[in-house]
Chain A
Amino acid sequence: MTETIAVLFIFFILILFGLIFYAQFQKSAFKEKAEELLQKRATETMLKVLFLPELICSERSLTEDNCFELAKVQAVVDGNLLEGGRGVDTEIDQEKRDYYFSIFSYATIKVQQLSVAADENDEPYVLYDHPLPKFTKSEPTFFVVALKEAPDTYHFASLAVTVYS
């Protein structure tokens, strides 16, 4: 009888160790999965921005990859387009805000024109700025794009998309 109890005791101790180990493993796996999902969202948001008709270089029906028109970028920034416009908070503004939020969710999108000299640092164009309140993690993703300035003048620029969780 005592032996059986001892064997059962050891058996349950081992089961307990196994459960603890599995719980630890699941905890880290869950963390990794959350990071993976955030990275995936960052990449998806980056792709959405790269092909956004409001920004992409286009002529007639042809579009140019990895290229934004400077005039469009300036118009988006000046009109605060992706954030629902400026001025009176009308219903249309709210609709626009909801529309772009459904595309980008909590994110920050910036484009910065770069020159060779590091001291000639242009201010970045902030296209969309919706950080998650009290976010715990942010995932920045970078890309290089051309900023097209008519007529056929291209500037070297960086695109930074940050997503939050």
Chain B
Amino acid sequence: MKNKKAQMEIIGLVVIVILISLGMLFLVQFSLKEKPDEKAFTRKGLAFSTLSTLLKTTVDCGLGDEQRRELREVLGDCASNSYPGQSADASFTNRCGVEESCAFFTSTASGLLERTLGVWGKHYEFQAQFPARFLSPNSEPFFLSISPNAGGCAERERDSSGLFPQPTESVGIIESVLYVCE
């Protein structure tokens, strides 16, 4: 009789231990559960505002007001001159001041992105591409790609600004996109 009572008590203890273990497991699982990225909304908005601001930023391509252009115009000029098969006697300016359009856009955009996103500890990747219908199957869609020396957003969780279409005179609509990641 005494032996049976002791066995019952041990069973009770085991049940309590099991219950507490289950409770702890539940708590641990609850605390380790990955939370949704609360900064994702801000990051997406940041990518959008950065690209829209970047493209409408006015730059000085020389001296005087006539030489002031929006960066999107410089990018369009760059696209016109980067299109595969573009003839050398093209009527595009291909210049912003003394600098070639693509080089000017790259240095200006890199500088501004580095002074904002770079300083705030964000990685980024800017891409500008030709419309798919203009390309042959083997040609590269991107004519311009900018990412910091520390690395772009490959293999990272990234947020996109969305595609920014832009009409150009020669190659139709080009598309720009900015990815921002932590």
B56, A114: Cβ atoms under 8 Å? no
A43 to B40 Cα, complex, angstroms? 11
Which residues of A are found within 8 Å of B112, using beta-carbon distances? 114, 116, 156
Closest to B110 in A: A116
Which residues of A are found within 8 Å of B67, using beta-carbon distances? none
A143, B46: Cβ atoms under 8 Å? yes
Closest to A160 in B: B120
A142 to B13 Cα, complex, angstroms? 56
Q: Any chain B CB within 8 A of the CB of A7?
A: yes
B24, A116: Cβ atoms under 8 Å? no
Interface centre among A116, A118, A145 (most CB of B within 10 A): A116
A3 to B5 Cα, complex, angstroms? 10
A7, B46: Cβ atoms under 8 Å? no
A11, B42: Cβ atoms under 8 Å? no
Interface centre among B27, B48, B57 (most CB of A within 10 A): B57
**What is the distance, in angstroms, from A42's C-beta to the closest C-beta of chain B?**
9
Q: Any chain A CB within 8 A of the CB of B17?
A: yes
A18 to B21 Cα, complex, angstroms? 9
How many A residues have CB within 8 A of the partner chain? 38
Which residues of A are found within 8 Å of B107, using beta-carbon distances? 116
Which residues of B are found within 8 Å of A67, using beta-carbon distances? 53
**What is the distance, in angstroms, from A13's C-beta to the closest C-beta of chain B?**
11
B49, A145: Cβ atoms under 8 Å? yes
A156, B45: Cβ atoms under 8 Å? no
Which residues of B are found within 8 Å of A118, using beta-carbon distances? 111, 115
Which residues of A are found within 8 Å of B52, using beta-carbon distances? 65-66, 146
Q: Known: A116-B108, A116-B111, A142-B120. Contact between A14 and B54, CB under 8 A?
A: no
Number of contact residues on B: which range applies?
A: 35 or more
Q: Any chain B CB within 8 A of the CB of A155?
A: yes
Which residues of A are found within 8 Å of B57, using beta-carbon distances? 146, 154-156
A146 to B49 Cα, complex, angstroms? 9
Which residues of A are found within 8 Å of B53, using beta-carbon distances? 66-67, 144-146, 154, 156-157
Q: Any chain B CB within 8 A of the CB of A117?
A: yes
A114: contacting residue among B24, B31, B58, B115, CB under 8 A = B115
B16, A154: Cβ atoms under 8 Å? no
A158, B27: Cβ atoms under 8 Å? no
A118 to B39 Cα, complex, angstroms? 28
Given contacts A142-B46, A153-B58, 16 further A-B contacts (CB under 8 A): A7-B13, A11-B16, A14-B16, A17-B20, A25-B27, A43-B41, A66-B53, A114-B116, A116-B115, A141-B42, A142-B116, A143-B45, A144-B53, A146-B53, A154-B53, A158-B115
20 interchain pairs (CB within 8 A)? Answer: A10-B13, A11-B13, A14-B17, A22-B27, A25-B27, A25-B31, A36-B38, A39-B38, A39-B39, A43-B42, A66-B48, A66-B52, A144-B49, A144-B116, A145-B49, A146-B53, A154-B58, A155-B58, A156-B53, A158-B116
Which A residues are within 8 Å of any B CB, using their own CB? Answer: 3-4, 7, 10-11, 14, 17-18, 21-22, 25, 28-29, 36, 39-40, 43, 46, 65-67, 114, 116-118, 141-146, 152-158
